Structure 1
Amino acid sequence: MDDDQRLRYSRHLLLNEWSEEAQDRLLQSHALVIGAGGLGAPALMYLASAGVGRITVVDPDVVDVTNLQRQIIHTTPRVGQTKVSSAAEAIAQLNPEVRVQTLACAADEALLNEWVPQADVVLDCTDRFAVRQLINRMARQHARPLVSASAVRFDGQISVFDPRQPEGPCYACLFPPDSPPEETRCAMLGVFAPVVGMMGVMQAGEAIKLLASLEDEGAAAAHASLSGRLLLLDGRTWHWTELRARRNPDCPVCGEITTPGA
């Protein structure tokens, strides 16, 4: 790290649990962010501002004026631009040191098989159940931690699914693939912008802690990830509910896997 970087990241370096080694790990890390909408927009900004060295962002859509109520990485002049190019432009203005790879396409199995193994952490910022299941399966197959969140109306939820934790659940343990819920996308039902923003910011926070390996700084107890926990937010009252999430031995994705790669 050079002096300019020490100045840029000084407020993290002042933390007792944060060292130059932790910051160097961030600078060398790669985050795969799938979705540059309500969740991905704030997540991308905080990943970039914290110094994640490489970010790959996947999204097939273009910026629409209706996105601007919550997707804070985009701007009015960039309406009609692809979301990934808009996000890359914003990141370059915020932190030009970050290397951004843009993929203006849907996240299918072939794409995930190529990009998930290259990443150190995966952020699921999508809003379709089938895509979430596919991302979870690929993250589990390639033994990559997955930070997953969702938000609709005034409700949000977030968890981490880390295949490096032998007893940790995967997304399919909590939400079985054969029991899809009724699709509740914000385009049809609306979403309170601060709630989806909070979920995206928390996704970035979980990813940054994983990438910086704060447990290596002697702070494991104080910085436990959300693996094995599901946080639910009611934005009407700002009430949080924490549920313990256990691995399902009959899960079709991870039920027969005892260790990553087994």
Structure 2
Amino acid sequence: MFPDPESPTLSSRRVAGLARSLPFMQALHGQTVVIVDGGAARDACFRQAFAQDVALLALTGVRPVVVQGGPSAPGTQSVQAACTAMAEVNHELVRLIGSHGVKAIGIDGHDGGLLVAGAESDRTNTSPVAQFDGTALNAFLANGLVPVVMPIAPDDAGEDRLLRPDQLGSLFAQRTGAVTLVMMVDSALLRELGELAGLYGITELEQWLTEHPAADAAPCVREALDALAHGVQNVHLADIGQPESLIDELLTEEGSGVVFCRRGNTDLLSETRRYFSDSASVLRDGFTVEQKQVVRF
């Protein structure tokens, strides 16, 4: 039997949950947040949950930009096949976000001259971004649309190239003035980042990258550092395997991900006490949660 939604106990929990989320909603209201879905949207169940979370953020006044994750193994299939697969997911994400009353639009690097890819590809068959023009992206945001961006762009010769979603997300966050970048990552990567415990400065984090250049977490950490160095205030690495991890990381004190954050920008951070706390999260009396790991600069 399902609990009575009107029961006093359930209602009080909802009120308490909303009250705890209010400072985070206020801090992010009107702010751009770039979200790299990390491939979660390939699964139908996660796609629905992810779309609902993105819509919820938009309805609370956040301006989300979604960077769609790439194929599971881009180096093993043709670019055209990868593009076709991503286009199907993109259309479904736009539809699902729209079903919650939020307008979304699916785009890629072709639209509005958004992106031009480099001609070279790496071992994963992805190319770097050679040019970026954010005019169209900013226009969508200004008109209340949620861009859902496929990591695809033409090179100078007009040939389609796959882009790295994490690199694209970092670039978007930097160029749109986003305060927050969220990367949805595998739980194994978060476990690997357990080695970062006790690192509270950029020097130590760069040293970790030097010592672990081939680590699975290294690309995300590099992109996080790049984003932080170019004005992004905080980068969340959220667990892709937890359906509500996006909301937990952004709008609650809960979560099991990792947060890289800069000191400064008091307009945002003064309202978000967890970033100034000496502990990994702010806990009220009688309220316990799994603590985030926070690396501050």
TM-score (norm 2): 0.40
Instruction: Point out the structure with the larger helix share.
Output: 2
Larger radius of gyration: 2
TM-score (norm 1): 0.45
